[in-house]
Structure 1
Amino acid sequence: MTTLPVHPGADAVLDALDPEQREVAAHPRGPMCVLAGAGTGKTRAITHRIAYGVLSGTYQPQRVLAVTFTARAAGEMRTRLRDLGVGGVQARTFHAAALRQLHYFWPQAIGGAAPEVMPHKASAVAEAGGRLRLRLDSPGIRDAAAEIEWAKVSMLTADGYAAAARAQRREPPAGLDATAMARLMSTYEDVKTDRGVIDFEDVLLLTAGILGEHEQVARAVRAQYRHFVVDEYQDVNRLQQTLLDLWLGGRDDVCVVGDPAQTIYSFTGASPEHLLGFRTRHPDARVVELVRNYRSTPQVVGLANLVLRSPGGGRRSGSVELRAQRPEGAAPELLVADDDPAEAEQIATRAAALVEAGHPASEIAVLFRTNGQSERLESALAERGIPYLVRGGERFFSRKEVRDAVVLLRGAARTDDGEVPLPDLVRDVLLGAGWTREAPTSGGAARERWESLAALAALADDLAATTPDARLPVFVGELAERAAAQHAPTVQGVTLASLHAAKGLEWDTVFLSGCSDGLLPITMAETPDEIEEERRLLYVGVTRARERLVLSYARARTPGAKPTRRPSRFLDGTEAVLGAAARSRPKTAKKVKAVPAAARTTCRVCDAGLATAKERTIGRCADCPPSMDERLFETLREWRLATAKENDVPAFVVFTDATLTAIAERVPADRAALAGIAGVGPAKLDRYGDAVLEIVKDFSAAENG
């Protein structure tokens, strides 16, 4: 390679860096893996690496490709490079880089112009569902589209989807089983073919296919790009890694940057294994840890380190121990409220006091695990005249499911005769809006929709508690007042955001609400990997705060309810910072007398308290290993699916996964034993009991035969 002249400003680029950042920038050739903790200046390190490579004559700028995950991050990278006096470097998202190559090489590799890219999948998924006579509502369509994306970035075809989903215990969305989801995927591809379009995942798949099958195209791309930088490498999926490998073509001039502790998108196919396994694939790689945190005070950094600490006190795999560089600040706090409304009131009161003292509202954020939590927070802020904006989602009363439900409630208010208690009446109306009394077992749009409607039910509970004689017209009037109050201008307001939407952002003051088991970790998180991702979500939330950090949780959901919640298990070990209220479990487990399984509140294995409805149904905490036979569980799932189809209801209406797990673990021999399992009420016992017991009996006989 021709050596370019050294620019006199090359050394100055290195002088502006700390020792670890300098090590990243000063070695621009060869493979490098940068483990960059939160707030440690990773973008600064990699842009200075590129700048030093160009100014020192090691790189030609047009031969460098820097890829990241958002257009905003790519734009910031280009701006920083220009400020360092370096132009001509390509900084793009994976999709933008691939699309550019696809348009350029398609005519010579395939012929003609490249197909148009669909902006959204929804209409194609809806048409595919219609062809199969599947009843998919809007959340179901969104969740099915997300599942198609996961399958494609995992490089699964429709033929391979069902086996992979079962192997990974992945629950297909929208009440579909794995076979039906595979058929939907296949038909979706037919719809795209008929329309002559491709989707965003196809951009990567087709580019990878052309590079793999057309050597002349691969040679042209590799001649164009000699040096690669990949930001947020912990979020790379299998398809993106495949494309990167094809770009490299066996070369090793690649620098990857990421933080395994911020891997929070595994449900989309992202995996930290590419980052953690980089040294295995590139044995000569230089590994650098960026540990100096410039964002947060030592107090915030200290709590972040504690959240990530392993049970033995050491670091979790691949994570770094942050070292704060800012002056001392206020200690993080843990607020404990009696119930959810009281928690929202406490947060809003503290935020209002800060704004009144001159703290910019735009430098305050309130973060939560699910969008359904935002309604109370929106209301509490609005009541105090504090402007706010919702990031990464619609305002509560602007969501379609909420608007539709309010219309139904308004109609029902005209015929409210006062005979049915208000909370029950509201729930009956919400059932007509598609709500169910049990939460869906899967996540995604369907779960968010359920959470929104459940929040309306909770508002009815609150009104009935404070105004016992209130009827549906009063409730509808209160909803209208809440909606009107929350349409004030909010451009410079407090930010409300989910933990996922908050990644990559930062504020002076952060409130972390809902820090209790059942929300952090979310009830749906079951496996050790899922639980650890929930821990990383909390870590991301903590590290968004620059100066002030306030965590909170409520002992109960509604006023007057039994205080059954406990602080998040991820706060264990933080008592020295947050006080004794952060301890999620008693230091010594208390022995309890045997109780019926349906009423059990402690784990039957270790006697620890059971935090979630799912744990109480199974009778075992998430920390203890399951004792069921997987084959019996799968047999029960197949029976449930057939029964659900026969009765034209979603599968979870028959039995939830938690109830099936409990049945498979306890193997009930008679109706009395089956009735003792939570989730098997009298109606379900009469309807399904004999069939379930027959399956268990046949299975036991086969095992003993």
Structure 2
Amino acid sequence: MSAETERILAGLDAEQLEVASTLHGPLCVIAGAGTGKTRAITHRIAHGVAAGEYVPQQVLAVTFTARAAAEMRTRLRGLGAAGVQAHTFHAAALRQLQYFWPQSVGGLLPSLVDHKAPLVAEAARRLRLPADRATVRDLAGEIEWAKVSMLTPESYAAPSIRRDAVGELDHQALARVYQAYEDVKNDRGLIDFEDVLLLTVGILEDDERVAAQVRSQYRHFTVDEYQDVSPLQQRLLDLWVGGRGEVCVVGDPSQTIYSFTGATPRHLLEFTRTHPGAREVHLVRDYRSTPQVVHLANRLLSSRHPERGLEQRGALWAKPLELIAQREAGPEPEYHELPDDEAEAAFIAQRIAQLAKEGTRLRDIAVLYRTNGQSEAIERALSTAGIGYQLRGAERFFQRREVREGLAQIRSSARNAPLEHATTLTRDLLGSLGWQPNAPTAAGAVRERWESLAALVALADELDAARGEGEYLTMEAFAGELEARAATAHAPVVEGVTMASLHSSKGLEWEVVFLAGLSEGLMPISFAQTQADVDEERRLFYVGVTRAQRRIILSWSLSRTTGGRGRRRRTRFLQGLAPAGRGEERLEAGARRGKRAAGPVRCRVCGATLETPSERKLRRCSTCPSSYDEGVFEALREWRSGAAKEAGLPAFVIFTDATLMALAEEMPRTPQEFLAIPGIGRSKLERFGEDLLSVLAGLR
């Protein structure tokens, strides 16, 4: 083994080493969240290159986002495999289509349309159908699904295609819209992103010379996020590979969250059957998250069970991996129930301010939610608290004015002083544009400009630190890296809390993650009506949990508006995983008393119906006499204050005053008696039960 090979393989765990050492034959890697899958496959490719088994230019690594492809290229360059091609499916196909179109079809390749919406709207108007914004968006999504599923307008209308309607349009009407869209597109000489794949497939199937040339160019294939491939992408991959076995696929069925786009984990789950003799390796050592976060993630998947009353169509559920945490222990997950959305947003802002005061960088914090509409209240709360944030998916980093100005300065310097140390010179250059070592106290545009420039400085430091001993990042290399990142929208991290939907958080990680809005109707989303839909929502929740490195904070509200009646319930996915919420406490209390859970809760003193949450917790009216000793109540409050300080939590998170009053009245002696009190679930019993029994025993 050469010294270079030893360097590449050093530091890999046993399973990663098995992946990196398996250079030939079909290979399937089932990789859990945070288990180092990108490390394993990039070291595999680099090992193949170093060992002389792979020619770099003959290796194609395919993933699903431009950011992931750019990260893979950066890692491969650092491992000495700079010539390897790493692209998204669309980018790789477009390069081939642009090259082969003139010789295989003739003429110029039609222009690629950026957005379907105008063409879909025109198609709907031709058919005298509604063309409002929401309908057009849904129609565009349905057309995309049909095309990646390789359905034509004719086959889409087949009775066997069981799809939910779009508005009031049945499948026949949707098929007509689909055909009209194709007509509009063809009339204008345009192609869309799905056409890029379809046309590439068509050329490879129809022109053997082109297929042979492509297969001669690429001999080894790696496909990341393989659980997300669509039938069309799989067809293209099959044509690229051409029956050869030199393909490595990597994915996790438990992270399949894009079924609505046509993605399916079937290809991953059936890989060893469709590729006889394939080796399968499981990566289960989680290096990202603490044992507490990993435990929650594992329990979230293992607690899944088929739900009664839901249609089972398409409910494919693979046995999930049991992840094994490799990091040191961290704080327990936090669960917070708030009265309404505004209160939840205010709590999140307050908690972030507390974390920042304790030393957590804002860039290491994310707030994730199911729908983009949930961000507004949280944005207002963060702004009020003076906390900077960035919306993932908003204005692109490299399009910001200050970033363009900074890139121009760096390019100029790279031409005039290509071998200068980038970390030092970049600071000097960007200082003239407003960067300074310390963040400005001003908010708004001044702070945003500084954050953008600071991200460039931090990136230079990061790339310089990744260089080998005795090497440094030159201005020429830094300018080249920035050019590559700008071309692929691979932006550096900007200082500020990240706000993102759960779907857009895939592939990212933060030290602290807030999962907000975990109420039924949002998680799972209200239109999840089949078992397959609910399972995908569970996997989406799992993706959110596994983004957290050290701390995870989960919250939900009981009402959408301030002063609302509080009829919301927290997500069913937390059943058995978290302390009972207010709604669950009422159900459990009703069951223990032998009453219907949905019935009213009555005062144990006068028999009146209890209206407020605190009354229901005490099981008596606020005006009825209490039976607790004031000294016992104060002693419990003193204990709670100490427990809250030790846990670093607000006192009400430990127990509310109403729960302490109930404890003072009931004076429980056994764990079973503790559980009979609303507000004390098994989790809190396990955490505080022994202390409380001791405190109460000394007060009798």
TM-score normalized with structure 2 length = 0.67
Q: 1:486 to 1:183 in 2, by over 3 A?
A: farther
Q: Give the aligned partner of residue 98 of structure 1.
A: 93
Q: Give the aligned partner of residue 364 of structure 1.
A: 365
Q: Give the aligned partner of residue 325 of structure 2.
A: 324
Give per-residue Cα distances to partners, 1:559-607, cap 9 Å, x unaligned: 33323222211112314xx567796995699588899xxx99xxxxxxx
- Aligned equivalents of 1:143, 1:161: Cα separation in 2: 16
The answer to whether residue 148 in structure 2 is matched with residue 147 in structure 1 is no
Give per-residue Cα distances to partners, 1:413-458, cap 9 Å, x unaligned: xxxxxxxxxxxxxxxxxxxxxxxxxxxxxxxxxxxxxxxxxxxxxx
- Aligned equivalents of 1:589, 1:35: Cα separation in 2: 44
- Aligned equivalents of 1:512, 1:34: Cα separation in 2: 29
Q: Give the aligned partner of residue 54 of structure 1.
A: 49
Q: 1:593 to 1:546 in 2, by over 3 A?
A: closer
TM-fit CA distance, 1:55: 1.0
TM-fit CA distance, 1:249: 1.1
- Aligned equivalents of 1:512, 1:488: Cα separation in 2: 29
Q: Give the aligned partner of residue 164 of structure 2.
A: 170
Q: 1:33 to 1:154 in 2, by over 3 A?
A: same
- Aligned equivalents of 1:179, 1:120: Cα separation in 2: 24
Q: Give the aligned partner of residue 221 of structure 1.
A: 214
- Aligned equivalents of 1:120, 1:128: Cα separation in 2: 14
Matches within 5 A, 1:290-305: 290-305=283-298
Q: Give the aligned partner of residue 225 of structure 2.
A: 232
TM-fit CA distance, 1:143: 2.3
TM-fit CA distance, 1:120: 1.8
Would you say the 8 A contact 1:574–1:582 is kept in 2?
Answer: no
Q: 1:83 to 1:279 in 2, by over 3 A?
A: same
Task: Tell me the secondary structure at the aligned position of residue 46 of structure 2.
Answer: helix
Q: Give the aligned partner of residue 641 of structure 2.
A: none
Would you say the 8 A contact 2:337–2:581 is kept in 1?
Answer: no
Moved more, 218-227 or 551-560: 551-560
TM-fit CA distance, 1:119: 1.8
Match of 1:539 among 538, 542, 555: 542
- Aligned equivalents of 2:82, 2:388: Cα separation in 1: 41
- Aligned equivalents of 2:342, 2:446: Cα separation in 1: 21
Give per-residue Cα distances to partners, 1:279-332, cap 9 Å, x unaligned: 11113111111111111111111111111114579x962421111111111111
Would you say the 8 A contact 2:144–2:194 is kept in 1?
Answer: yes
Letter in 1 for 2:574: L
Q: Give the aligned partner of residue 115 of structure 2.
A: 120
TM-fit CA distance, 1:546: 1.0
Give per-residue Cα distances to partners, 1:330-351, cap 9 Å, x unaligned: 1111001122221111111111
Q: 1:242 to 1:87 in 2, by over 3 A?
A: same
TM-fit CA distance, 1:558: 2.4
TM-fit CA distance, 1:228: 0.5
Task: Tell me the secondary structure at the aligned position of residue 96 of structure 1.
Answer: helix
TM-fit CA distance, 1:168: 2.2
Letter in 2 for 1:155: M
Give per-residue Cα distances to partners, 1:164-201, cap 9 Å, x unaligned: 6x7423222x5433222211111111112111121111
Q: Give the aligned partner of residue 693 of structure 1.
A: none
Moved more, 103-112 or 534-543: 103-112
Q: Give the aligned partner of residue 460 of structure 1.
A: none
- Aligned equivalents of 2:119, 2:156: Cα separation in 1: 19
Match of 1:519 among 499, 514, 522: 522
Task: Tell me the secondary structure at the aligned position of residue 49 of structure 1.
Answer: helix
- Aligned equivalents of 1:534, 1:394: Cα separation in 2: 28
Task: Tell me the secondary structure at the aligned position of residue 47 of structure 2.
Answer: helix
Letter in 2 for 1:188: Y
The answer to whether residue 200 in structure 2 is matched with residue 207 in structure 1 is yes
Letter in 2 for 1:127: E
Q: 1:312 to 1:521 in 2, by over 3 A?
A: closer
Letter in 1 for 2:185: K
Would you say the 8 A contact 1:509–1:548 is kept in 2?
Answer: yes
- Aligned equivalents of 2:596, 2:327: Cα separation in 1: 52
Q: 1:582 to 1:296 in 2, by over 3 A?
A: farther
Task: Tell me the secondary structure at the aligned position of residue 556 of structure 1.
Answer: coil
Match of 2:22 among 21, 24, 27: 27
TM-fit CA distance, 1:79: 1.0
Would you say the 8 A contact 1:310–1:316 is kept in 2?
Answer: no
The answer to whether residue 512 in structure 2 is matched with residue 509 in structure 1 is yes
Matches within 5 A, 1:349-388: 349-388=350-389
Moved more, 299-308 or 9-18: 9-18
- Aligned equivalents of 1:311, 1:234: Cα separation in 2: 19
- Aligned equivalents of 1:113, 1:509: Cα separation in 2: 50
Letter in 1 for 2:244: R
- Aligned equivalents of 1:582, 1:495: Cα separation in 2: 31
- Aligned equivalents of 1:53, 1:106: Cα separation in 2: 32
- Aligned equivalents of 2:64, 2:586: Cα separation in 1: 39
Letter in 2 for 1:496: M
Q: 1:488 to 1:333 in 2, by over 3 A?
A: farther
Give per-residue Cα distances to partners, 1:213-239, cap 9 Å, x unaligned: 111211111111111100011110010
Moved more, 212-221 or 537-546: 212-221
Q: Give the aligned partner of residue 415 of structure 2.
A: none
Letter in 2 for 1:10: T
Task: Tell me the secondary structure at the aligned position of residue 546 of structure 1.
Answer: strand
Q: Give the aligned partner of residue 410 of structure 1.
A: none
Show structure 2 runs of 5+ residues with no match.
307-315, 397-442, 452-494, 601-700
Letter in 1 for 2:350: T
Q: Give the aligned partner of residue 258 of structure 2.
A: 265
- Aligned equivalents of 1:376, 1:500: Cα separation in 2: 19
Q: Give the aligned partner of residue 187 of structure 1.
A: 180
Give per-residue Cα distances to partners, 1:531-565, cap 9 Å, x unaligned: 00000111111111111110011122223332322
Q: Give the aligned partner of residue 279 of structure 1.
A: 272
Q: 1:569 to 1:312 in 2, by over 3 A?
A: closer
Task: Tell me the secondary structure at the aligned position of residue 531 of structure 1.
Answer: helix
Would you say the 8 A contact 2:590–2:597 is kept in 1?
Answer: no
Q: Give the aligned partner of residue 530 of structure 1.
A: 533
Aligned Cα root-mean-square deviation (Å): 2.7
Moved more, 211-220 or 7-16: 7-16
TM-fit CA distance, 1:203: 0.7
Letter in 2 for 1:285: A
Letter in 2 for 1:190: D
- Aligned equivalents of 1:182, 1:487: Cα separation in 2: 48
- Aligned equivalents of 2:537, 2:323: Cα separation in 1: 20
Answer with 1 or 2: which has the greater Rg: 2
TM-score normalized with structure 1 length = 0.67
Moved more, 337-346 or 149-158: 337-346
Q: Give the aligned partner of residue 498 of structure 2.
A: 495
Would you say the 8 A contact 1:573–1:583 is kept in 2?
Answer: no
- Aligned equivalents of 1:256, 1:512: Cα separation in 2: 30
TM-fit CA distance, 1:130: 2.4
Give per-residue Cα distances to partners, 1:583-634, cap 9 Å, x unaligned: 6995699588899xxx99xxxxxxxxxxxxxxxxxxxxxxxxxxxxxxxxxx
Aligned length: 498
Percent identical: 59
Would you say the 8 A contact 1:571–1:583 is kept in 2?
Answer: no
Q: Give the aligned partner of residue 416 of structure 1.
A: none
Q: Give the aligned partner of residue 107 of structure 1.
A: 102
Task: Tell me the secondary structure at the aligned position of residue 163 of structure 1.
Answer: coil
Letter in 1 for 2:543: V
The answer to whether residue 74 in structure 2 is matched with residue 79 in structure 1 is yes
- Aligned equivalents of 1:529, 1:350: Cα separation in 2: 35
